[in-house]
Chains A and B, each alone.
Chain A
């Protein structure tokens, strides 16, 4: 009872602080991309409390704390025209779903016994839950409820449209997400995230290397599920003000924004664990289930470094690509991601079957399979970039006549 509570406290504390500082990092990153300075002033105003002390500036590191205090001191307002119960329930449910996802996601590997008791400590809140991926999947679907409830309860046309768009987007991209995961599960034969990482460490082949197409599909789908640019249509400011949280303010808005960042962090955790080898790095972390202290610490460092890099990638993408139009978004989900996901799954299944039938699991066989997968990935990419412009009509709807609208496939 005590051990899970300690882990939960560490996780929630780390995630909330992490989310706050990632906001600062993202703003600094935006400033860097756009050739500005960014928030670099807020420090700790010590002279306000003790006269004679100098204010600390600390490169703007006080910004998240100041933002938090400001959110708490804002009015906790519920407008009269909303459905009061659902209006309060929406931010709570979305935050809880976003946080609980981390119950089955390991944030490190096993710590060897010795210091904290004799038993080795698994760094996951719920160790041995063999259906980890299913839990993650289920909870990420619950997040849709928070968005829809928020949009519906607000009784505001912007919120309503934002909620509808968001639900359509989230469910459309859940299929490619599932297809991407399916390839990994097939190659591992387990839904347990720890075992998925263990398999990659054992063979030394990260699934990003053996299933490049699946990696691509999963990455794009998880960008869409986290509603990050270029997929942030649920709350595109220029069209829908704030999307589903237009009517929200104060702490409720804070809960929505934190949940959004948690989705992004969870997505980068999953990308790292399913496709980028989790805590594994060649020659550095060892690959067995038993680890020395050095290896255990290296595993922690490697895992968090990878997650940090993926989050940086998320932020770079945000400031690099423009947003999709809604019809392009849906077309991309159904007409590009779904076929690519199916191709990936069939290729993985066939290569896997080849290994089983030939009874050959040597490194040469693995190399051949990986090369074949890369060939098909590049082939599919080339085919789509040639076929796409020929088939797709990318003009906005207002420029089509009615015949063209009907004949578009």
Chain B
């Protein structure tokens, strides 16, 4: 295993133990009482009418889809942002006959396309919360 990963996994283990330990201590020390009214969902004193998990507004779904589209497009920019000044990466590219300036122009075209998609979605009212 990658030795860089070990500390992070250790950290995950410690944090989980901490959270679970706190929960255990709390359940050991606290009082335990229950009752019919206490079991009910808290809805400001009204009797709940039905289960809370029902159909919900499609707007939330639209936001999620718009997010997915743009997030994936942004993810494409990360490798370029890291490699733009990286001497080794640039050298192998120039050996293939591609210059750094050309890649820059391609990225700008990519961002222009992304912006075009963004403007289209805006005109279509995707970002309008209605």
Name A's B-contacting residues (CB within 8 A). Answer: 1, 4-5, 7-9, 12, 71-77, 79-81, 88, 91-92, 95-96, 99-100, 102-104, 125-126, 128-129, 134-135, 152, 154-160, 164, 167-168, 171-172, 174-175, 178-179, 182, 185-186, 189-191, 241, 246-247, 250-252, 254-255, 326-327, 330-331, 334-335, 338-339, 342, 345-346, 349, 352-353, 356-357, 397, 405-406, 408-409
Shortest Cβ distance from B90 into A: residue: A356
Shortest Cβ distance from B74 into A: residue: A178
Q: How far is the CA of A129 from the CA of B6 in the complex (A)?
A: 11
Q: How far is the CA of A106 from the CA of B126 in the complex (A)?
A: 40
Name B's A-contacting residues (CB within 8 A). Answer: 4-8, 10-12, 14-16, 18-20, 22-23, 25-27, 29-34, 38-44, 48, 51-53, 56-57, 59-60, 63-64, 66-67, 70-71, 74, 77-78, 81-86, 100-101, 104, 107-108, 111, 114-115, 118, 122-123, 125, 127-130
Asked if A96 meets B10 with Cβ closer than 8 Å, knowing A76-B27, A157-B43, the reply is no
> A12 near B8 (CB under 8 angstroms)?
no
> A330 near B11 (CB under 8 angstroms)?
no
Q: How distant is A258 from chain B, measured CB to nearest CB, in Å? A: 9
Closest 8 CB pairs of A and B: A251-B26, A334-B127, A189-B85, A76-B27, A327-B129, A4-B7, A99-B15, A186-B81
Q: How distant is B7 from chain A, measured CB to nearest CB, in Å? A: 4
> B71 near A175 (CB under 8 angstroms)?
yes
> A12 near B15 (CB under 8 angstroms)?
yes
Q: How far is the CA of A102 from the CA of B10 in the complex (A)?
A: 12
> A75 near B32 (CB under 8 angstroms)?
yes
> A160 near B127 (CB under 8 angstroms)?
no
Partner of A185, one of B5, B16, B43, B81: B81
> B118 near A338 (CB under 8 angstroms)?
yes
> B86 near A189 (CB under 8 angstroms)?
yes
Q: How distant is A345 from chain B, measured CB to nearest CB, in Å? A: 7
Chain A residues lying within 8 Å of B118, measured Cβ to Cβ, are 338-339, 342
Chain A residues lying within 8 Å of B8, measured Cβ to Cβ, are 100, 103-104, 125-126, 129, 135
> A73 near B123 (CB under 8 angstroms)?
no
> B26 near A71 (CB under 8 angstroms)?
yes
> A96 near B19 (CB under 8 angstroms)?
yes
Partner of A397, one of B20, B34, B130: B130
Q: How far is the CA of A9 from the CA of B11 in the complex (A)?
A: 9
Partner of B70, one of A129, A164, A175, A408: A175
Asked if A155 meets B4 with Cβ closer than 8 Å, knowing A99-B15, A251-B26, the reply is no
> A76 near B4 (CB under 8 angstroms)?
no
Residue of A99, A152, A167 ringed by the most chain B CB atoms within 10 A: A99
> A92 near B20 (CB under 8 angstroms)?
yes
Q: What are 13 inter-chain pairs, A to B, with CB distance below 8 A? A: A7-B7, A12-B14, A72-B30, A73-B29, A80-B39, A88-B23, A91-B23, A96-B15, A102-B11, A182-B74, A186-B84, A251-B23, A342-B115
Asked if A167 meets B31 with Cβ closer than 8 Å, knowing A81-B41, A331-B127, the reply is no
Chain A residues lying within 8 Å of B74, measured Cβ to Cβ, are 175, 178-179, 182
Shortest Cβ distance from A5 into B: residue: B10
Q: How distant is A34 from chain B, measured CB to nearest CB, in Å? A: 26
Partner of A349, one of B10, B44, B67, B108: B108
Chain B residues lying within 8 Å of A327, measured Cβ to Cβ, are 129-130
> B63 near A172 (CB under 8 angstroms)?
yes
> A156 near B43 (CB under 8 angstroms)?
yes
Q: How far is the CA of A175 from the CA of B64 in the complex (A)?
A: 12
Q: How far is the CA of A409 from the CA of B63 in the complex (A)?
A: 16
Q: How distant is B90 from chain A, measured CB to nearest CB, in Å? A: 10
Residue of B15, B53, B70 ringed by the most chain A CB atoms within 10 A: B15
> B6 near A250 (CB under 8 angstroms)?
no
Chain A residues lying within 8 Å of B38, measured Cβ to Cβ, are 77, 79
Q: How far is the CA of A339 from the CA of B115 in the complex (A)?
A: 9
> A185 near B82 (CB under 8 angstroms)?
yes
Shortest Cβ distance from A160 into B: residue: B52
Asked if A250 meets B26 with Cβ closer than 8 Å, knowing A4-B7, A8-B14, A92-B20, the reply is yes
Partner of B19, one of A9, A71, A92, A179: A92
Chain A residues lying within 8 Å of B4, measured Cβ to Cβ, are 126, 128-129
Q: How far is the CA of A154 from the CA of B25 in the complex (A)?
A: 22
> A408 near B43 (CB under 8 angstroms)?
no
Shortest Cβ distance from A343 into B: residue: B115
> A251 near B7 (CB under 8 angstroms)?
no
